[in-house]
Amino acid sequence: MWFKNLTLYRFNKPFSTDTEALEKALADFTFSPCGSQDISKFGFSNALGKKGQALVHSAENRHLICVTKEDKILPGQVIKEALDEKVALIEDAENRTVTKKEKDAMKDDITTTLLPRAFTRRSQTRALILPELEMILVDSSSATKAEEMLALLRKALGSLPIIPLSYVKPIEQTLTEWLQAGEAPQPFEMQDEAELKSESDEGGIVRFKQQVLQEDEVLAHLATGKQVHKLALHFSQSVAFVMQSDTSVKRIKFSEEFRAGNDEVGNEDPMARLDADFALMGSELIAFVQALHGAFGPMEQSI
């Protein structure tokens, strides 16, 4: 349940759907596994996984939702080999060239035959709806996957007036200023990883890892006009992450000391522990996003 990435969106209008109404809306779009001829299935599932019993898990007007996607794994090479073999048999037996139309039909038949025997792969994506911040935080490193989830949520609710989070001042400009100054503003702290990119088409990209970023070797790249597009940071000693110039937050890791804050709850009651962890994570993510606004704001009002 602990989020590992953030793709951030904000509401254009206040989100006023309560837990009961949200649960009811999502129920019409619940996940079901692939049938024999399905290539992919996508739908809402229990917010807390196998131990959960609701599509929406809410606490303090914060709503956790989850989508599950199941894909059939049917490599194109497998289909191609089967098709080539079938085409070769026909051409040898009938001494003619198989047409493209015939090949397309045979490819469809092969796919239909192989699908029931194909392996499946499942993935889940969670999102945290935060009415108090007028935002949705999607736990995904892929904007495409985040948009796919939000499209289903929009379909369930009828409308979803959101836009990707962006700031008036480009994030790469702010990150570059931090690196030039040798420090990030509190409650952030620079770590030892960065990616610098030239703004010109002919320029390159340089990456540093496990590197003291205040050394001349790094700063020399800033002097040539490169800007910081990725920067590893810590937030209040509780969250390590990589801030990206597209406003996404990658490789989030909550510290062991922070997560131990719920150790007194124990693990005897799994649901109680999940609920406590959700409350702990939600509160920290709210503080984290508010700190981002303080460091990078003001926000763009439209895109």
Amino acid 267: pLDDT: 78
Average pLDDT (5-23) is 96
Tens-digit pLDDT profile for residues 244-292: 999 999 999 999 999 998 888 877 888 888 889 999 999 999 999 999 9
Taking the alpha carbons of 147, 148, 149, 152 in that order, is the dihedral positive or negative? positive
Amino acid 303: pLDDT: 53
- What's the N-to-C CA distance of the chain in angstroms? 31
Interhelix angle 171-181/270-296, nearest 10 degrees: 80
Residue extents of the structural domains in the chain: 7-74+118-164, 76-116, 171-296
**From the CB of residue 148, how many other CB atoms can be counted at a distance below 10 Å?**
16
| Closest-CA residue to 236 (of 285, 302, 300) | 285
Check pLDDT > 90 for residue 119.
yes
Please report, rounded to a whole number, the percentage of residues in the chain having pLDDT higher than 70: 98
Amino acid 302: pLDDT: 66
Average pLDDT (179-203) is 91
Q: Would the pTM count as exceeding 0.85?
A: yes
Give, in degrees to the nearest 5, the angle at Cα 110 between 105 and 115: 130
Q: Which of 30-34, 91-95, 299-303 has the lowest mean pLDDT?
A: 299-303
Output the average pLDDT for the chain.
94
